[in-house]
Structure 1
Amino acid sequence: MKSWLKQISFIIIVYLITSFAVDTWRTRGIDRQSLPDLQGKTIYNTTINLKELSFEQPILVYFWGTWCPVCSFVSPSIDTISQHYPVYSIAMQSGDNKTLKTYMKIESYQFNVINDDNNRIANSLGVQVTPLVMVIDQGELVHFTTGYVSLFGLWWRIAF
C-alpha cells in the first residue's frame, strides 16, 4: 500500500510540474504586469471594456474558437460558471456575428461573446493558444491557464 501511495504521489507531482511548465511556455507572450485596454463589441453590438469591468469585481475571460476541439470540452464549464460569475469570452477567428450567434444557439451557450475575428484583442494581449482562461481583478491578471480546465478549476480560479 505504501508503495502505491508513493507512486501515485510521484505521478501527481510530475503532472503538476509538467502542467505548470506547459502553461508557462504557452503564455510566454502575455505581459502579466501591464494589461492593455481590453475592449470590444459583443455579437449583439454592446461595447465592453474588460479591464474597466474588472474594477467592479473579478471577471473570467475566456479565449476560444469554434474550430478549437479542446474548447468544445471547456465551453460547457464556462457556460455553467457564467451563471454565477461574470464571464466574457473572446471568440478568435470564428466567423462573423451571425455565424457566432448561430453557433451559440445550437450549443445553448449563454456566456457573453466578443467577436475577435481578426485577432486584434488576442494579439494586443499576446494570446497564441486556445483555450485560454484568465481571471482579471482590479485591472490585473491574477490567474490564467491554457488547455482543458474543469468546472472546479474555473470556480477555484475566480473564487480565490
Structure 2
Amino acid sequence: MSSPVRFSPRWWLRLVAELLLFLVFLLALEWFMTRHAARGPAPALAAMQTDGRGVDVRSLQGRPALVYFWATWCPVCTAQQSAIDGVLADTPAITVAMRSGGAAEIHGYLAKDGLNWPVIDDADGAISMRWGVSGVPAAFILDADGRIRFVTRGYTTGLGLRARLWLAGLGV
C-alpha cells in the first residue's frame, strides 16, 4: 500500500506564487491589447443597421449593455459566436461588423450558422477607430449610464461577458 502524497508548505507557496505571476501576466496582456480602446462615456454611435433600422448607443442606457465588434474573416469571432448569441438573447446590445463586406455578405455569414444579429456594417473601419478597436473580437461593457466599464479583446466566454455585465450593473 502506498502512502498518500504530501505537499510541503514550500511547494504550496511556489504554486501560489506561480499562479499569481500568471494572473499578473494575463492582466498585463489584457491591458496591452486594449490600451487604445475608448474609456469613460461611450463614444457616439448612431448608424443604420444592415436591416435598415437605425440604432444609437444612447438607446442602450438604463441597464448594462454590450457593444461587440467582430468580423466575418475573424476565426476567433467564429469560435465565440455561440457565447455572443447567448448574451444577445437577453442583453441590450449593438454589434459592429468591422471591414466585413456589405450587408449581403454579413447576413450570409450569420445565416449559415443560424444567427440573426442586429449589426452595423463598419465597412471603412471609422466606427472601430472612434472606439479605439485595433483588433477583433472586442467587447465593450457599458453600465446603465452609458459609461464603458470593461473592455475585452480576443476570445471571451459567455460566462466572462455575463460576469462583466453583472459587475457593470453593480457599478463596479
Q: Provide the TM-score with structure 2 as the length reference.
A: 0.83
- How is 1:3-152 mapped onto 2 (pairs within 5 angstroms)? 5-6=12-13, 8-50=15-57, 52-137=58-143, 138-152=145-159
Structure 1 residue ranges, 4+ long, deviating more than 3 angstroms after superposition: 1-12
SS in 1 for 2:67: strand
Distance 2:149 2:49 in 1: 24
Distance 1:140 1:130 in 2: 21
SS in 2 for 1:148: coil
Asked if the contact 1:62/1:89 (under 8 Å) is kept, the reply is yes
Asked if the contact 1:39/1:121 (under 8 Å) is kept, the reply is no
Structure 1 residues 43 and 157: CA distance shift in structure 2, 3 A: same
Q: Tell which structure's C-alpha radius of gyration is larger.
A: 2
1:155 is aligned to 2:147: no
Distance 2:49 2:155 in 1: 24
SS in 2 for 1:61: strand
Distance 1:88 1:108 in 2: 18
Structure 2: any 5+ residue segments left out of the alignment?
Answer: 1-5, 168-172
Identity %: 28
Root mean square deviation, CA, Å: 1.8
Structure 1: any 5+ residue segments left out of the alignment?
Answer: none
Q: Provide the TM-score with structure 1 as the length reference.
A: 0.89
Distance 2:12 2:111 in 1: 46
- Deviations along 1:57-102, one digit per CA (max 9) or x if unpaired, are 2211111111111111112100011112122211101110011111
